[in-house]
Amino acid sequence: MKLKHEDRVCDTVVYFVVKRKNLTIDRIYYPDKDKRNKGPSVDRLIKCVRVEIVLEHTLIESYPEQIADRKMVANLLGPLRTELAAQLPTPGHYQLSIDVGAVKGAKDNERIQKALIIWIKEKAPTLKLGSPDVAPNHLIREKPVGVPFEVTLYRFPRRDGQFQINLQAPEDLEEKRRERIRKALDEKCPKLCKAKGENRISILLLESDDIFLGNDLEIAEIVTQELAVRNDAPDEVYLVDTWVHHWAVSILKDGPTFFPDIEDVGPYYLDPLPK
């Protein structure tokens, strides 16, 4: 049976945690999935030889509807990476940037893709190689014919021939990210605190899969600031990036110690469990 993504994330990090603590797993329970469960309703209850661990997982959005927005961008514009790789003038690489939420409601993906490819191939040769001396002649922002939203095409030095797609961050991105993190903590911390009881170790696992706007340092700083003013903070907090090939885990809280004062904070690179 194929593992769901969330289960892969939880179990991959569980094995990392027990290895880090030099523990031996006796059994793993899935209380949230067990209708007969009368104990702590958490994602994982890990019974080890000497200790029990309760774990909750949550996905951190960079802004409201980020997950849905990213999927729409990937479906609509993802094929352009293949179509335009090594097809544009060198030296330099190109970056297509679109505003957050711009693709919402867009229809006829194939027509939009073809229109963008024609426009990019037409405009790329006209751009200067990006540097302070040529700005703003290294970019062009337009609403191409046949495309229902504005895009910006950049040309930058190095990585010759590569073509990338980025989301343009909203001006209040940090504020929106803080709102999402605070909401996640409000939902998960009381639940973990109740499940912890007297002897268990409570762990909060934060996941970031935002290839466009994810920022581990900013997430870590916001999480530690928000946890510092709570009286129900979990014993340990981990941040895992799942948009990279080898998932990257960093430790944001370890007992009373917060990022960045944790020794060996990471990131640790893990091979995710198979699907």
Please check whether residue 180 is in contact with residue 151, taking contact to mean a CB–CB distance below 8 angstroms.
no
More confident residue, 174 or 269: 269
Cα separation, 17 vs 233, in Å, equals: 18
| pTM of the predicted protein model | 0.71
Structure tokens at 91: 């030296």
Beta strands 52-59 and 201-208, pairing class = parallel
Type of residue numbered 72: M
Beta bridge partners of 203: 55, 236
How many helices (H) and strands (E) would you count in the chain? 5, 12
Q: Is 108 left (phi over 0), alpha (psi -120 to 50) or beta?
A: left
- Give the model confidence (pLDDT) of 124-136 as tens digits: 999 999 988 888 9
How do residues 190-230 score in pLDDT, each as one tens digit?
Answer: 999 999 988 899 999 999 887 666 678 888 999 999 999 99
Q: Tell me how far apart the alpha carbons of residues 1 and 4 are, in angstroms, rounded to a whole number.
A: 9
User: C-alpha angle with apex 144: 143 to 145, nearest 5 degrees?
Assistant: 120
Question: Does residue 1 surpass a pLDDT of 60?
Answer: no
**Cβ-contact 247, 241 below 8 angstroms:** yes
Amino acid present at 174: E
For 38-55, the pLDDT digits (tens) are: 666 899 999 998 899 999
Backbone angles phi, psi at 195, to 5 degrees: -75, -25
DSSP single-letter state for residue 119: H
On whether the CB atoms of residues 151 and 141 are closer than 8 A, the answer is yes
Say which residue the tokens 């700083």 belong to.
221
**Distance between CA 215 and CA 208 in Å, rounded?**
9
Pick the range with the lowest mean pLDDT from 33-42, 158-167, 206-215, 228-237.
33-42
